[in-house]
Amino acid sequence: MFVDRLISSIKSKSNSCVVGLDPTLEMIPEHIRKRHIVRGTNKEIAKAFWEFNKGVIDGVFDLAPAIKVQVAFYELLGLDGLEVFYKTLNYSKEKGLITIADVKRGDIGSTADAYAKAYLRNSDIDSITVNPYFGSDGLNPFIKESIENEKGLFILVKTSNPSSAEIQDLKTETGFIYEKVAQLVSTLEENTTGFSNIGTVIGGTHPEHIKKLRSKLKGFILVPGYGAQGAKAEDISHGFLDESLGALICSSRSITAAYKKYGEGNRYQRDARRALRNMIDDINRHAKIGGKTKWQT
Amino acid sequence: MFVDRLISSIKSKSNSCVVGLDPTLEMIPEHIRKRHIVRGTNKEIAKAFWEFNKGVIDGVFDLAPAIKVQVAFYELLGLDGLEVFYKTLNYSKEKGLITIADVKRGDIGSTADAYAKAYLRNSDIDSITVNPYFGSDGLNPFIKESIENEKGLFILVKTSNPSSAEIQDLKTETGFIYEKVAQLVSTLEENTTGFSNIGTVIGGTHPEHIKKLRSKLKGFILVPGYGAQGAKAEDISHGFLDESLGALICSSRSITAAYKKYGEGNRYQRDARRALRNMIDDINRHAKIGGKTKWQT
């Protein structure tokens, strides 16, 4: 089961903080850029992304239970970038990390089925993010493949961006759209007694939404928005069901580009590690992870 | 401008029917499978997809104004598949077709920006499909790149699948969700007097939705669902603003796998052409394209 592997990884590291690998050219330290980039081709930039990602993973793999890889930044480099996307997932698995491919796919049944197979049958991918706009017959192929391959899903409920309210916070006769999506996710979940393999995404920038929905959801909540986007540890703490499990908090730039704040580019691995440690301390102080918690007694 | 190129292509071919290239292994004729597939690797299947796609394009390029390529079926084969995705778009452009990359991407601003650049800066891609769940700040990067690169967008409003009602038909205090998305699209559109470059997707399986929204939208409506999914020409005719322009009707399997109905696999090109001709006749009979229409007088 995906969720059992996830929980075991969180417990072994006393940490629910996940690192996001969303490389951009301006995020790459000077010494790596110089080594690979001469003409600025996609192939060269992809090589720099790969060295950078590998460095970040080496720097944090023993602290983080999981890694999230945002495919958009690799698609931007075409096939060269996508090769690095798959290599990054492979290397993360080698290092014992649970992988989240942040692909946010969604389509009608037969197409959703192709997407589901594309990602959930890949042995380097433990879970993916999914867009719910199509309703249940667009989600079912993902559910089916997640069960067959013992993988996890994180279905978008309330996204971290400011404009998310325009659609997701619209009020219907029976609740807000984000609540309707949360209800839909609940009906799709297997009848589990513990945590479900089907999680959701709720931005840490919306603590009220997390608070309201946590008790109604049986899966983990993937919480983006900590750090660069402004979500605070106290906001995110509502995502933990028993103050120790139930939320996966993701930060990308604030970790991977921490060297811009702390020091020099050639020590980016050490600085990513330092930033992650600070994040873990901050989150655990509020979630009491690593202290006296239910699952550790 | 994208929409000018699209209209010019539609007029020169007196046709608004678009062919979708969504290959699956079981769709590929026996003689092509035999030529490429021995062990069943992704590389072999991708080679078969490429020969098949090229054959379909050669069979229909002089009839169709545009081609739609659904990325999911290529992602399923990993990098080998994606190579064929890009080759197919490139070959379609060479043959003078307007290309629609059906990627349905959507994310928060910085990530949407990466997706937008990935596709809209590619010279083989004229337009893409976009998911609106994130609201305007998730759509704006796509709008920006579409303007800068003179490309088009088709934003999902009402999808063709049965469960689309679960989210999209929910009623808010100020209209249904699909209407709210349509309104949002209208606010994002440039102030054009003719057709906008920003179109929408409304399934042909929902004629009432097309009817209701057509007059409120300034862009083309991409209409999937004709053929295999059951939408009829009379349903789709509501998508034409002046009975000749305003809708792009897409069919995939019913065209590309028409040989299964008409004849033998080794004549799949001729059969795709025949199926497309029948579709064009059917649509034009209802839309009066090729007859006495406003844009032809």
**Token couple for A230:** 């402004």
Chain A interface, best mutation among B74, B80, B161, by max A CB count within 10 A: B161
Q: Is the CB of residue A159 less than 8 Å from the CB of residue A181?
A: no
**Amino acid present at B194:** G
Is 60 exceeded by the pLDDT of residue A290? no
- In tens, the pLDDT along B30-51 reads 999 999 999 999 999 999 999 9
What percentage of chain B reaches a pLDDT higher than 70? 95
Report the DSSP beta bridge partners of residue B200: B155, B221
Torsion of CA A66, A67, A70, A71, to 10 degrees: -100
CA–CA separation, B22 and A5 (whole Å): 35
Interface test with A, best of B49, B110, B178 (most A CBs within 10 A): B110
Q: Are A222 and A248 contacting, i.e. CB atoms less than 8 angstroms apart?
A: yes
* Complex ipTM over 0.90: yes
Per CATH, the architecture of B2-286 is what?
A: Alpha-Beta Barrel (3.20)
CB A227 within 8 Å of CB A253: yes
B 65-94 → A contacts, CB under 8 A:
70, 72-73, 75-76, 78-79, 82-83, 86
Contact of B108 with chain A, judged by CB distance below 8 Å, is answered with yes
Interface A-B: count of C-beta contacts within 8 A: 161
Report the residue of chain B nearest A179, measured CA to CA: B167
Task: Give the dihedral of Cα atoms A131, A209, A72, A6; nearest 10 deg.
Answer: -90
B78 contact residues in A (CB cutoff 8 A): 86, 118, 122
* Mean pLDDT rounded to a whole number for chain A: 93
Cβ–Cβ below 8 Å for B79 and A70: no
Cα A52–B82–B156 angle (5° rounding)?
100
Q: pLDDT confidence of B296, banded at 50, 70, 90?
A: very low
Identify the residue among A166, A184, A251, A253 best suited for mutation to test binding to B, counting B beta carbons within 10 A and taking the highest: A166
Asked whether residue B291 carries a pLDDT value surpassing 70, the answer given is: no
Confidence of residue A296 (pLDDT cuts 50, 70, 90): very low
B25 touching chain A per CB within 8 A:
no
pLDDT digits (tens, 9 = 90+) for A20-76: 999 999 999 999 999 999 999 999 999 999 999 999 999 999 999 999 999 999 999
Minimal Cα distance from B107: which residue of A? Answer: A104
Nearest to B108 among A79, A111, A159 (CB): A159
CA proximity to A24, closest of A91, A73, A89: A73
- Better-predicted residue by pLDDT, B288 or B170: B170
A123 touches chain B (CB under 8 A): no
Place of tokens 């690979």: A36
Interacting residues of B193 by C-beta distance below 8 A, sequence separation 6+: none
Query: How many Å apart are CA A221 and CA A202, to the nearest integer?
Result: 6
- Measure CA A126 to chain center: 11
- Is B12's pLDDT higher than 90? yes
Q: What residue of A is the nearest CA neighbor of B170?
A: A172
Give A294's DSSP letter.
G
DSSP label at B70?
E
A254-282 average pLDDT score: 93
- Domain boundaries, given as residue ranges, for chain A: 2-296
Give the single-character DSSP code of A157.
E
DSSP state of A189: S
Q: Out of A72, A118, A132, whose CB is closest to B118? A: A72
The partner residue sitting opposite A131, judged by closest CB among B117, B131, B168, is B131
Q: Are A141 and A116 in contact (CB under 8 A)?
A: yes
Strands (E), A212-265: 219-223, 247-251
d(CA B176, CA B188): 19
Cα A216 from chain centre: 21
For range B95-109, the mean pLDDT: 98
- To the query of whether residue B104 is one of the catalytic residues in this protein, the response is yes
Asked if A166 lies within 8 A of B118 by C-beta distance, the reply is no
pLDDT at position B290 over 50: no
Distance (Å) of CA A249 to CA A158, A204, A208, A244, A252: 14, 8, 16, 12, 10
The pLDDT confidence band at residue B288, using thresholds 50, 70 and 90, is low
- Which residue shows structure tokens 């417990």? A11
Q: Which helix (H) or strand (E) holds B103?
A: strand B98-105
Among candidate residues B11, B43, B54, B104, the one labeled active-site is B104
Percent of chain A with pLDDT over 90: 87
Q: Does B184 contact A at CB distance below 8 Å?
A: yes
Chain position carrying tokens 């979500």? A231
Average pLDDT, chain B: 93
Question: Residue A162's CB: how many other CB atoms inside 10 A?
Answer: 17
CA distance B71 to B93: 17
Q: 3-class SS at A141?
A: helix
Task: Please check the confidence at residue B200 and state whether its pLDDT lies above 50.
Answer: yes
Answer whether A292 touches B (CB < 8 Å).
no
A264 has a pLDDT exceeding 80: no
Do A78 and B118 make contact, defined as CB atoms within 8 angstroms?
yes
Residue A259 has pLDDT above 90, yes or no: yes
d(CA B202, CA B213) in angstroms, rounded, equals 9
Q: How far is B36 from chain A (nearest CA, A)?
A: 21
What is the token pair recorded at A88?
A: 């990054």
Question: How far is Cα A196 from Cα A258, in angstroms, rounded to an integer?
Answer: 34
Tell me the shortest Cα–Cα distance from A277 to chain B, in angstroms.
25
Measure the CA–CA gap between A249 and A286, rounded to whole angstroms.
Answer: 13
- pLDDT, residue A130, reads 98
Structural tokens at position B10: 């539609």
Placement of tokens 């931005």 in the chain:
A203
Please tell me the predicted confidence (pLDDT) of residue B289.
55
Supply angle C-alpha B244, B249, B255, rounded to 5: 130
Please name the member of B115, B137, B161 whose beta carbon is closest to the beta carbon of A161: B137
pLDDT at B295: 42
Which helix (H) or strand (E) segment is B155 a member of? strand B152-158
Query: pLDDT, tens digit, for every residue of B158-178?
Result: 999 999 999 999 999 999 999
The two structure tokens encoding residue B277: 């001709």
Q: What is the pLDDT of residues B48-89, one digit of tens each?
A: 999 999 999 999 999 999 999 999 999 999 999 999 999 999
pLDDT mean over B189-203: 87
What is the assigned CATH class of domain A2-296?
Answer: alpha beta
Residue A271 in this model has a pLDDT that exceeds 70: yes
Cite the DSSP H helix spans in chain B.
Answer: 2-13, 30-36, 42-60, 72-75, 78-94, 109-120, 136-148, 165-168, 177-188, 207-214, 233-236, 253-256, 259-262, 268-287
What distance in Å separates residue B217's CA from the closest CA in chain A? 18
Q: How high is the pLDDT of residue B297?
A: 32
Residues linked to residue A67 through DSSP beta bridges, in sequence order: A19, A99
Q: Helix axis angle, B136-148 relative to B109-120, nearest 10°?
A: 30
CB A106 within 8 A of CB A132: yes
Least confidently predicted of A12-26, A42-56, A131-145, A251-265? A251-265
Closest CA to B214 of B257, B190, B185: B185
Q: How far apart are CA B224 and CA A292, in angstroms?
A: 56
- The encoded tokens of residue B12 equal 């020169």
Give chain A's length: 297
For the beta sheet containing B171-172, the strands, ordered from the edge strand earlier in sequence to the opposite edge, are: A175-176, A171-172, B171-172, B175-176
Residue B159 has its nearest CB partner, among A73, A108, A172, at A108
